[in-house]
Every structure is written in structure tokens, then in C-alpha cells.
Amino acid sequence: MHIKLRSGLLAAMLLCFAFVAQAQQKKDITLEDIYRKGTFRAQSVYGVNWMKDGQYYSSTVPDEQNKVYDIVKYDVTTGKPVSTIIEGENLKPEGSSTPIQFDDYTFSSDEQKVLFSTDTEQIYRRSSKAEFYIYDIASKKLTKLSNGGKQLYATFSPDAKRVAFARDNNMFVTDLSNMKETQITTDGKFNSIINGYADWVYEEEFSFAQGFHWSPDGKKIAFYTFDETNVPEFNMQMWGELYPQDYKFKYPKPGEANSKVKVSVYDVASAKTTKMDTGNEADIYIPRIKWTNNPNLLSIQKMNRLQNTLEILHANATTGKSDVVLKETDKAYIDVTDDLTYLKDGKHFIHSSEVKGFNHLYLYNMSGKLVRQITNGNWEVSSFVGYDEKNDRLYYMSTEVSPLERHLYSISSKGKKKQRLTEKAGTHNVNMSTDYKYYLDYYSAANVPTTVSLHTAKDGKLIKVLEDNQKLKNTLAQYDIAKQEFFTMNTADGTKLNGWMIKPTNFDPKKKYPVLMFVYGGPGSQTVTNSWGGANYLWHQVLADKGMIVVSVDNRGTGARGAAFKKVTYANLGKYEIEDQIEAAKWLGNQPYVDKDRIGIWGHSYGGYMTLLGLTKSNGVFAAGIAVAPVTNWRYYDTIYTERFLKTPQENAAGYDDNSPLFFADKLQGDLLLIHGTGDDNVHFQNAVAMQDALISANKQFESFYYPNRNHGVGGGITSLHRFTMMTDFLERKLINKTEKANQ
């Protein structure tokens, strides 16, 4: 009897241990999990529109029964739905029994009408065209905006009486009282004259596509005209048909002709168009226009071609006459932001500048006279959120806690009563209500997916968590996840660099591991931030599980650490950046747990360029590298980006050539995998072709792969899974298993 009890107890204990072992056994992340199954897809809060009564916001909600989306009104204070503003099943065009499937929506200022976009067709990174519909909430009537073809950037006038849009390089306006469509411009022509939206290079480098803005009273429209007649044309071939199709578009390369740009104002009542005076210089940029709170005064930002002089002009919308109210110069370059804000008092504006070494906010009167510097310190205002004039509170995002983090602050216009509103260490992005009473906080940190929460703006108090991604967190808990850890290192000249590291979960400090360095490194960028890393973070986890350490270091030239740190690379792109990456690799090689003979590097775009520099300029420090969509010679890239940092080739030939991997192909050491999409409208496939030709001429062996018709992201469909499978295989062959094969 005694023996039987002990046997039963032993069996129970063994069963218990089996359950514990099973519970503790973690799954390995697979590439299919990341790039096909969506196992780690994070949720967020999309489609939020703050309503004019700051007590409410609207959002899209799926109606599973009718397979449509409803627009639902939420109470900000509770986060709970109040009513359904629009039933998706009611969005049926006249004569149709099927509701439209909308991609986005916008309320008119009186919130009586809604503008829906459908069947959206992407053009470039920020541009698209769509069929737009107007929905009248009271009558529940849905009307197509235009029958003339897809429209671009349809926008309500502030008085809710009209909608302006662009199409086929021209501008149009529709009167909503009778749906009469009026064509504002007639000279628009493909690859020649563009009215109302940006040319390719403005869209890519000045970060806007819509090129028109309504005046505050809804009576005028300010719009851009780009004359790209003399801009050289780039030709890509699109593959798949019996005969490849040519795709031609205007793309200005360094030193070549840019579009001639002008700004005009159209008066709706008189149908008169007036050109704004921007001076006699023809070779200029106009990176921003916006209306002041005076409906007859337009603000125009103008830059010289080298982008080291910025002027803010105030133009009379009726006469076109303008005055320069503020002029700023820099020995290197000036970054364009969206921070310029005109106060409702009509007497002041707020402008951000790096003039004192760090980006800060300044208050000026309308004549451009400085009233005061509002924020100050050895940290950056990363973005200006807005100004609550009623309560005299400016809201801005800042790096004051750390260059690795972003936090929301408020301060008075006198630079007093500064208050930090976000608490958790990490990266916060906010969506502020129009009345400055509430904000949505999109928060994440290293190893922590995004949480979306609702807060009161005056004190940052939490009202409700709207999305905690608990499902994703529970999923992650089932997998073998290695922590991303932060570190700092010093270069030979004493410069401190920030980095992060992911080690295998079974890390043994007595072993020596291969290392892969992930790099971007371009001006003002960052890869080292305390934030959720998304798909790259998860792929790096796959590599860590295979026994590799993954590291990223932000070199000189990157952002959030002041102008001196960022602009040291001016006129010499690539030099200091790759020096720092090489130093970081050597520093890693001196760590007792790193195999210095198995250090690799990879990056995309500017990171691909850095990878090629690493393999051609490090004298063998890097054993292998993967360059995805790299620039190989800055002469092949566009005017605005390249000349901002390098001047023109005519002025600075050495700056272009001294750090072009094309000219150092014979110095290649280590294994290279070069990847590019043939349909890349940004960093052209030409870059990869030239690099391959140089390597062949130097009799250097390498691996390469091109993706037909894929753009700069080299994604879409199953492309990412295919690409990262190939990249993983390359790293296993060339770094992870290299020692094992050598010892066999």
C-alpha cells in the first residue's frame, strides 16, 4: 500500500513537470508569421476625426452584418459610442443598390456633409487619385462629385459651400448648391504644366502632394503651378506584357533643371486668378504656402536652390504684392517643417528654427520682429502640435528626456509654466483635438507594442485606453523573444553614439557570436529610438534565434541631437557616417562575446548606400552585407535632397565622388547581396545596374537579385516574405554558419 502511494505520487509529479515544461516551451518566430500570416499585426485606432464640439470625435466601425463601415460618434470623456452618424448601408449612389466602400472621409466645417473617397489609386509615395462622393447627412443623399474622371485631393471650403480638386494637371471647383463644376486652370498638360499638386521631387522631398489651400473664409484658393517642361525625363520599363511598357516621368537629378514654380490665388466670386510675387529669381523652391488668419494675406516660404536661405513672405492675395518678413540663413542647410503657425490675434506667428543649435520655438510679430524665444535648452522640439490661445498653452513634442524618446509638453507663450504631459518612457505621438481639450496618445517602447489612450490636454490625465494590443502581447508571450537593450559607445574622438542590441535568448557570454549591424544613417534620421520596431524588430528576432546578435548604432549626421551633430556631414555625405559605423563594428569586435570575423551590415535605401560603403571602405571589418535599394552615386538621385546636403555637382564634385561606392568597387571585401526593385521611382534601378557593372569591371564576385516592377519599398503581396527568406538564407550561409563550414 505504501509503495503504491509513492508510485502514484511520482507519476503525478512527472505529469506536473511535463505540463510545466510544455508551458515554458516557447515557439520560434517564423518568416511566415511576420510576412504572410500577420501573426504579430498590431492594432491601432484609425479614422479618428475630432468634431467641432470638442466633446466628441468620430471613427469608422465595421458593420459585420452588412459588410460595410459605419461612422460612429464617440464621447471623448468616456470613450463610449454615442450614436451612429452614418450607416454604411445608406451610402448608395443614385441608381445603385450597392453601398460604396470608402477609403477615407472628411466632414464639412458645419458637419452637415461628408466627403468620401473610394476606389483610391496610389500614384507615388504621398499622391493618389480617387472617386469622391458628397453625402448630405440630413437628406441621406449620396452624390458623385464629378463624372470627369478620378479626382485628386478633393477638399471642402471652410464655409462648406464648395469643394476644390485637381484632375489631369488642372484645378476645379464644384458649387455644392447646384453641383456646378468650374475649371479654374486650362494650361495643365502631362509632363509639362501641373496645377494644384506637387511634381515628383516636391512630393518626395518636401513631403506634400496637395498643392492648393482654401482661404479661411472660403472665397479664394491659393495653388501651385509647376512648369516641368525643361526637367529631364526618366524612363522606367514596366514588365509583364508581351512588350515592356515605358513609364516616363520628370525627375530632376543634381545640377539639372528643376520645375519653375509659381503661386497664384483664384477668387471664386470674380473668377480672377492673380500671381503672387515671389521675386525675380527663377531657380528657387517654395516648400510651403499657407493662409494667415487674414483671408487676404497668404504666407509663402521661399528658399534658394542650395536651401541655406529661407524667407517667409506675406503676399496680398488681391494684388499679389509681397513683403519678406523673416529671413534665415545657415552655413549648411535649413530643414523645412510644418511648425509655422499664425495666431488668431492676427498680430503674431510662431516659427521653429535651429538658429541657436537646437530646434526651438520662437514668437514673432507679423512684421517679422522677434518677440521672444519660447523654448530653450540643449534638446530639440521635434514637432509643434499647436497653440491653445484661449488658455495660452503651446503644445509640442520634445527630446528633452532623451534623444531616444518623444514626449508631449505644454508651455505658455512667455516660455513659462512648462509641463511634461506624457510619463511612460518611450515614444509618444499625439493627435490633439481641435479645441485643445483632449489628445490621443499613440505610445510604444522597445519590446512594447503600441497602446492608444485618451487624455485631457491640460494635465495629461488618462481618460481611457482605447487600444492596448493585449492580444498581440499575449501572442508575443508565447514566442521566444529577446530583449532589445540600449547602450552607448565612444568613438576615437570622444563622440558618444547611441545604439541598441538584441542578443539570443540563450546568450552565453563565454561564446563568440556573429553580429549583424542594421543601419540607415541618413541626415536627421534615427534607427535607435525607444519605440516598437515592427517587422524589422521581429525579423531581427528570427536572426537572434538562429544565434546572431543584431545591433544598430546612430552615427553622426542623424537626428535629435542638435544641428552640430546632424550637419557635420554637410558637403561630404557618407564620410563621417561610415567612419562611425566602422568604429562601432570594431568596438563590437572587441567585446568578448563577439566574433570579429563575422560582423555583417545591412540597410535599405540610405542604409543600402551605407552597406556598400562599409564593404568597400572598411578594409575587411565587415565580412558580409545586404544592400537593399541603395544609392550608389548621389549624381543619380534627386535635386532637392542631394543638393541640400552636397550642393550641386558643379560646385562640389569631390563631395559626390569621394564617397560613392561606384568608385571603390575594386576595394570590395566580404560577401555582398545587392537587392533592388526595377520599378523604383525614387532610388532608380540605375543605381544597382551601375554598381554591378563596376563590380564586374573590378572582377569582384557578389550576389544580386532584382524584383520586377517593385517600387522603393520592395514589398507588396508575397514580395516581403520572398525577400526576407533570401536575406535570411544569405546570412546563414555567410555569417551564422560560416565558422561551422570552415571547421568541417
Query: Which residue, chain included where needed, has cell 561610415?
Result: 578
What grid cell was written down for 467?
A: 487600444
**Across-strand partners of 213?**
222
Considering the candidates 351, 604, 684, 712, report the single residue annotated as catalytic.
Answer: 712
Distance CA 291, CA 341 (A): 10
Q: Of how many residues is the chain composed?
A: 744
Amino acid at 605: S
What grid cell was written down for 364?
A: 514673432
Distance CA 500, CA 523 (A): 19
Write out the H or E segment, with its range, that includes residue 587. helix 575-589
User: What is the DSSP code string of 415-469?
Assistant: S-S-EE---SSSEEEEEE-TTSSEEEEEEEETTEEEEEEEEETTT--EEEEEE--
- CA 713 → CA 258, 379, 604, 670, 684, distances in Å? 25, 32, 9, 25, 12
| Residue 722 annotated among the catalytic residues of the structure | no
Phi-psi sector, 426: left (phi>0), alpha (psi -120 to 50), beta: left
Distance CA 181, CA 173 (A): 6
Considering the candidates 199, 671, 680, 681, report the single residue annotated as catalytic.
Answer: 680
Considering the candidates 433, 605, 618, 660, report the single residue annotated as catalytic.
Answer: 605
- CA 438 → CA 59, 109, 421, 565, 568, distances in Å? 16, 19, 12, 35, 40
Angle at 112 between CA 109 and CA 117, to 5 degrees: 80
Inter-residue contact 312 to 326 (CB < 8 Å): yes
Distance CA 485, CA 508 (A): 16
Read off the DSSP letter of residue 320. Answer: -
Inter-residue contact 385 to 396 (CB < 8 Å): yes
User: What is the DSSP code string of 505-537?
Assistant: TT--TTS-EEEEEE----TT--S--SS--HHHH
| Residue 605 annotated among the catalytic residues of the structure | yes
| Residue 680 annotated among the catalytic residues of the structure | yes
- Side by side, which strands form the sheet with 360-365? 341-342, 348-353, 360-365, 370-373
Distance CA 265, CA 274 (A): 5
Inter-residue contact 328 to 355 (CB < 8 Å): yes
- CA 554 → CA 487, 505, 557, 574, 580, distances in Å? 11, 24, 8, 13, 8
What grid cell was written down for 184?
A: 479654374
Where are any strands of DSSP class E within 109-259? 113-122, 128-136, 141-144, 152-156, 162-167, 170-175, 180-183, 193-195, 212-214, 220-227, 233-238, 245-250
Query: Which residue, chain included where needed, has cell 483664384?
Result: 266
CB environment 627-654: b (16+ within 10 A), e (fewer): bbbbbbbbbbbbbbbbbbbbbbbeebee
Smallest CA-to-CA distance from 423 within 394, 453, 393 is with 453
Residues annotated as catalytic (active site), given as ranges: 605, 680, 712
